């Protein structure tokens, strides 16, 4: 609510709606979407930004490894549930819809095959840092596969992923001491919050990126993610796997 008040204070006449959403809970995601759709508002832009980082091993309420559940699966479900609304808005307004997934350079530091499909919830071999990298790899693969599907449909919606940079926020709460130590020796690469938001805003809003989709950005420039992140077959496998997880959770 403090954020809402701050936005209203800085923008006269702006209407701001705040809805509750817990990305680690698929039930919460569906409840949020139902509440949002009831408002009957247009939807031009979706920025998938929520995340947890370097968590000790734990499962979500849907019995899914927490970092994967929050950082990827919640966004995957949210995006799918809102997609028809975005398509209708783009068609009715003629304005391109844009979806942006916040990934991370940490997607390069993941498990050997990228995604542990057969051991996602296995505590043995769990690494808090590789699990985070796995979820960030999933963000890029999700964006790429969704982009491919929307292009096949000729939908007027682009989907891209970004690495915002290294920023000291509450995301670091599970490794605060380590990050503060690293910051002493790598102060030149750290960003403040506005700097960290710059690439996300650029990809979401800049006219020069009209029609640009399925790309990965850092420092407001297109760059190349890891080989795993560019693997189309892995992206398709993740899509099917994510759908199965969502369906199983909703049936339980």
Residues labelled as active-site residues = 126
Retrieve residue 125's tokens. Answer: 């071999």
- Annotate 204-221 with DSSP letters as a single string: HH-GGGTT--S-EEETTE
Q: Which residues contact 208 (CB under 8 A, 6 or more apart)?
A: none
The DSSP call for residue 70 is I
Which element (helix H / strand E) includes 48?
strand 45-48
| Maximum CA extent, the chain | 54
Whole-number Å distance between alpha carbons of 163 and 110: 16
Q: Which helix (H) or strand (E) holds 218?
A: strand 216-218
Assigned token pair, 30: 């569906």
The full DSSP string for 124-192 is TT--HHHHHHHHHHHHHHHHHHHHHHHHHHT-SEEEEEEE--EE-SGGGGGGHHHHHHHHHH-GGGEE-
Tokens 């759709």 correspond to 37
- Is the Cβ–Cβ distance between 159 and 147 less than 8 Å? yes
Q: 251 by DSSP, 3-state: which?
A: helix
Phi/psi for 41 (5° steps) reads -100, 155
Instruction: For strands 45-48 and 97-102, give the pairing.
Output: parallel
């Amino acid at each position: 609510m403090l954020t809402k008040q701050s936005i209203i204070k800085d923008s006269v006449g702006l209407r701001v709606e705040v809805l509750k959403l817990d990305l680690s809970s698929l039930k919460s995601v569906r409840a949020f979407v139902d509440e949002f759709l009831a408002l009957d508002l247009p939807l031009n832009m979706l920025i998938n930004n929520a995340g947890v980082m370097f968590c000790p091993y734990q499962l979500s309420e849907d019995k899914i490894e927490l970092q994967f559940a929050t950082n990827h699966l919640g966004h995957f479900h949210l995006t799918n549930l809102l997609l028809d609304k975005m398509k209708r808005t783009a068609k009715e307004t003629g304005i391109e819809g844009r979806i942006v997934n916040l990934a991370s350079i940490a997607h390069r530091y993941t498990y050997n095959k990228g995604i542990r499909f057969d051991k996602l919830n296995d505590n043995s071999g769990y690494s808090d840092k590789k699990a985070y990298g796995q979820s960030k790899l999933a963000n890029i693969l999700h964006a790429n596969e969704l982009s491919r599907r929307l292009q096949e449909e000729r939908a007027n919606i682009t989907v891209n992923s970004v690495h915002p940079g290294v920023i000291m926020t509450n995301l670091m709460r599970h490794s605060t001491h380590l990050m503060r130590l690293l910051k002493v020796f790598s102060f030149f690469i750290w960003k403040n919050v506005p700097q960290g938001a710059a690439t996300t805003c650029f990809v979401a809003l800049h006219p020069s990126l009209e029609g640009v989709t399925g790309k990965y950005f850092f420092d407001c420039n297109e760059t190349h993610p890891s080989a795993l992140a560019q693997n189309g077959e892995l992206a398709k496998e993740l899509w099917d796997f994510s759908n199965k997880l969502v369906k199983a959770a909703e049936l339980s």
